[in-house]
């Protein structure tokens, strides 16, 4: 899973600038995000990444190129995204990296290689 997550981060980094430091988790009452999980197509229970993408981000990313043939992006409700995050990450906050396009934050992303032995 870590290899898939590293590959996904590399591919995403070709299209956006990923901040080097984490920021607070995006699950506030008044957030403006759509939530997605990136999964392995061959084993959909393997979560590679969790993304909080700003609604109506412009310009749009080329997700087919970023994901390739092995990964899939699935939209999930905010409550489900929060439950997944809580189950797989040991820290309560500061788990997400901001990513930017043209200097503007387009969303937040968490990678599987950050996960520390949780099942």
- pTM for the whole thing? 0.88
Beta bridge partners of 110: 50
Tell whether 119 is covered by a domain: no
Sheet with strand 33-40: strands edge to edge: 17-23, 96-101, 104-111, 43-54, 33-40, 71-76
pLDDT per residue as tens, the chain (119 positions) = 578 888 999 999 999 999 999 999 999 888 889 999 999 999 988 899 999 999 876 678 899 999 999 999 999 999 999 999 988 876 778 889 999 988 889 999 998 876 654 44
Strand segments, DSSP code E, in the chain are: 17-23, 33-40, 43-54, 71-76, 96-101, 104-111
Predicted local confidence at residue 118, as pLDDT: 43
Q: Which domain holds residue 69?
A: 2-114
Tell whether 76 is covered by a domain: yes
Tell whether 24 is covered by a domain: yes
Predicted local confidence at residue 119, as pLDDT: 41
Tell whether 109 is covered by a domain: yes
Tell whether 53 is covered by a domain: yes
Tell whether 106 is covered by a domain: yes
Tell whether 86 is covered by a domain: yes
Tell whether 69 is covered by a domain: yes
**How many distinct structural domains can be found in the chain?**
1
Of the candidates 96, 90, 86, which has an alpha carbon nearest to the alpha carbon of residue 53? 96
């Amino acid at each position: 899973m870590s290899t898939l997550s590293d590959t996904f981060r590399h591919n995403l980094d070709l299209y956006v600038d990923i901040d080097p430091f984490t920021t607070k988790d995006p699950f506030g009452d008044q957030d403006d995000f759509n939530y997605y999980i990136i999964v392995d197509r061959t084993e959909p229970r393997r979560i590679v990444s969790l993304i909080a993408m700003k609604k109506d981000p412009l310009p749009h990313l080329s997700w087919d190129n970023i994901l390739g043939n092995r990964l899939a992006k699935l939209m999930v409700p905010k409550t489900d995204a929060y439950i997944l995050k809580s189950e797989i990450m040991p820290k309560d906050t500061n788990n997400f990296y901001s990513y930017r396009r043209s200097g503007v934050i387009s969303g937040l992303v968490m990678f599987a290689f950050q996960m520390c032995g949780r099942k």
